[in-house]
Amino acid sequence: MRFRILAPTFSLLAALTLTFAGCNRESPKGGPGADKANKGTTATTGSSDTKETFSIKVPAGHTNVTQGGQTEVSVSVSRGSNFDQDVTLTFKPHDGITVTPDSWTAKKGDDTGKFTVKAADTATPGTTNVAVTGTPKTGAAATVDMGIEVKRKS
C-alpha cells in the first residue's frame, strides 16, 4: 500500500526536478546549420551542421519586476564550435515592459550581455514574455521567450 502512494509522489518529484533543474531557457538552433540541427538529423550523425549553429539562453522561469521598478538579466549566445558570426539580439517586449539596451551584438568571445528590464508604473501585473531574437549574418534566426512576472507595486 505504501508503495502505491510513494510511487506517484516520486514520479511527480522527478518531473519537477527535471523541469526546474536548468538555470536557463534555450532557443532552438539558429545559423547556417539550423535546419538540419533542429530536425535532429545531425545529432546522431555527428555532422558539422550542429557546429555551425548558435542558440540563445535566457533565465529559466520568470524574472520578477515590480511595477515602476527594474531588474538586470543576463542573456547569452551559445555557439557551435564552427560558428564565428556576430549575432544581433533584439527584444520585443509587451505593453509596459522595456528592455535596455533594446538590441546588442554578441561577438565571438563576448557572448553574454547584461540588460535592464523595466516595468512601467502602469504595467499590468501578471506574467508576460519578451521575445528575444538572435539574427546571424547568414543562416536562420533563433527566438526564445524570456518570461517576466510583473508584481503589483505595494
Apex 74 CA angle, 73 and 80, nearest 5: 155
Residue range 78-111, pLDDT digits in tens: 999 899 999 999 999 988 999 999 999 999 999 9
**Per-residue model confidence (pLDDT) at position 14:** 36
| Higher per-residue confidence, 50 vs 82 | 82
How far apart are the C-alpha atoms of 59 and 110, rounded to whole Å?
18
How far apart are the C-alpha atoms of 111 and 113, rounded to whole Å?
7
Domains and CATH numbers, the chain: 23-151 (2.60.40.10)
pTM, to two decimals: 0.74
**Per-residue model confidence (pLDDT) at position 23:** 62
Q: Which residues pair with 150 in a beta bridge?
A: 65, 126
How far apart are the C-alpha atoms of 18 and 103, rounded to whole Å?
32
Nearest CA among 148, 136, 146, 115 for reference residue 29: 136
Residues 100 and 114: beta-carbon distance below 8 Å? no
- Which amino acid would we find at residue 76? S
Distance linking the first and last C-alpha atoms of the chain? 48
